[in-house]
Amino acid sequence: MTKTLYHVDAFANKLFSGNPAAVVPLTAWLNEAVMQKLAFENNLSETAFICEANNKEYDFEIRWFTPQVEINLCGHATLASAFVVFNYLHFDKPEISFNSQSGILKVTKEDGLIKMNFPSWEPDEFNDPPVNLKDALGGIDIKGIYKNRDLLVQLADEDAVQNCVPDFSLIRNTGYKIIITAPGKSVDFVSRFFAPTAGVDEDPVTGLAHSQLIPFWSKKLDKTNLIALQLSKRGGTIYCEQKGDRVIMAGNCVFYMKGEFEIED
């Protein structure tokens, strides 16, 4: 059985920036164990599998796998999947609807950007953090700790986020995925995202984290439209909007390569 794989840099304006994702279009689902092995083989933070839908409620089903586990929501691989659908799968509608474990995700193409409509997951103050959290983040000073799906740790400023030297072994031992964030110098807020519990020490640009960051900073800054920068080595810009119980995340993608792989039927 021969399948096609696309490799796309998401939240990127130029090649070798943003967050790389693999996208595998399907007409029928592969075995879950096979999809996990393919994600491990790709060794990217996420491999997205999109399968054509056989109903009128949505266009595709989508699933995301890290090298180690399946996850319930992923932003950058959804952005990359939409890029592939819009540009390579002869899709002629102005909006894509993906059915996922986190509900229906709608994606449009507007003003030169791909815009994703995602759930808004506002984090609450968290009073029971791991005892070694500060050590896990290199001894850095912490201004506040919040939690939704992940731990969100507020730091003093952009330099603190940029200069954080995490201990990934200690982060893994906490059992949490961790977002660190602070106000930005030239953007509204900056962040980094650490997920060694999912096989990804530091994710380059993380849409899922922004489902939590956008409502957090929208409330703190009293703004609904924000620009965010993820301060990984590759870096990436996310254009954000808070809309009630949803958030809009928008960005660009850059095509890297298209290939084929063969697996047994």
Catalytic residues: 46
- C-beta atoms surrounding 249 within 10 Å: 27
- For 132, the 3-state DSSP assignment is coil
- Vertex 10 angle, CA 260 and 258, to 5°: 15
The whole-angstrom separation of Cα 242 and Cα 117 is: 10
- For 128, the 3-state DSSP assignment is coil
DSSP string over 235-260: -EEEEEEEETTEEEEEE-EEEEEEEE
The whole-angstrom separation of Cα 72 and Cα 113 is: 24
**What is the distance, to the nearest Å, from the Cα of residue 136 to the centroid of all Cα atoms in its chain?**
22
E strand intervals along 81-176: 95-100, 103-110, 113-119, 124-125, 144-147, 151-154
